[in-house]
Amino acid sequence: MLVYPSGIDLSTSSLRFLARQLSTRHREQGTRWRRLPAGRQALLVLAHLRCGDTYARLAAGFEVGIATVYRYVAEAVEVLAALAPDLRTAACTASTKAFVILDGTLLPIDRIAADRPFYSGKHKKHGMNVQIITDPAGRLVWASPALPGAVHDIKAARTHGIIDALEEAGVECWADKGYRGAGGTMRLPYWGRWETLSAGQQAVNRSHARIRALVEQAMATLKTWRLLRKLRCSTTRITSLVQAVLTLHLTCSN
């Protein structure tokens, strides 16, 4: 396999943060020797998460075995996922904002037609449903655990307890019509065909759409991590990957 120099569009703060976390993990485990030091392992993991590089490509580039790459990635993802904020923490953060925006996104996966629980009728493809909470500027605040793509947004929000958590925190939340009937502090657009709405209702819906459109910025930010654009791993690992990316984004963007 040919090897060539490449780059990752991340700041060095991401590398330093992950390297520190891995060094701490190694000391706790009493590890005496590693094929790669913590800094190189962190670089390997960031290349996998950010660029979507396969284990085989990483193994060739870092001159280690494919099994070693798998262990290093799994270890780093576990460390990062453990640091991700839970919903209660996210609700506390949201309580300091004027309001938040909630929406769901589909992370595509490589499943076949027989895997119906993962097929999203809305997006016409297989994937995992992840709920996103952003602040008024469209910055990512929290990402939920992944559910099968067939799960509707309102059901996902109730499953995760998002509606109750935001209501308890007293935070107003803008959402689309997919959350109709959610109650709590959810603010939704008027329901009905556009031509049947009054002029006032149409104006409200336009304003609502302009505010809610900012959530697309957070979704785009999440998917700049190319691994999440097409997941080819077990669906049981996707939540950990999302939480790992969330930790890196929140820690290194502040």
Q: What is the pLDDT of residues 20-49, one digit of tens each?
A: 999 999 999 888 888 999 999 999 999 999
- The pTM of the full predicted model, rounded to 2 decimals, is 0.91
pLDDT average, residue stretch 244-253: 90
pLDDT at 34: 87
Amino acid at 127: G
Residues of the chain with pLDDT > 70: what percent? 98
Whole-number mean pLDDT of the chain? 91
pLDDT digits 0-9 by tens, 152-182: 999 999 999 999 999 999 999 999 988 988 8
pLDDT average, residue stretch 201-211: 91
Whether residue 64 is predicted with pLDDT greater than 70 in this model: the reply is yes
Distance CA 174, CA 190 (A): 12
Contacts 24+ apart (CB under 8 A), 181-188: 181/154, 182/154, 182/157, 182/158, 186/102, 187/99
Beta-carbon count within 10 A of 218 CB:
24
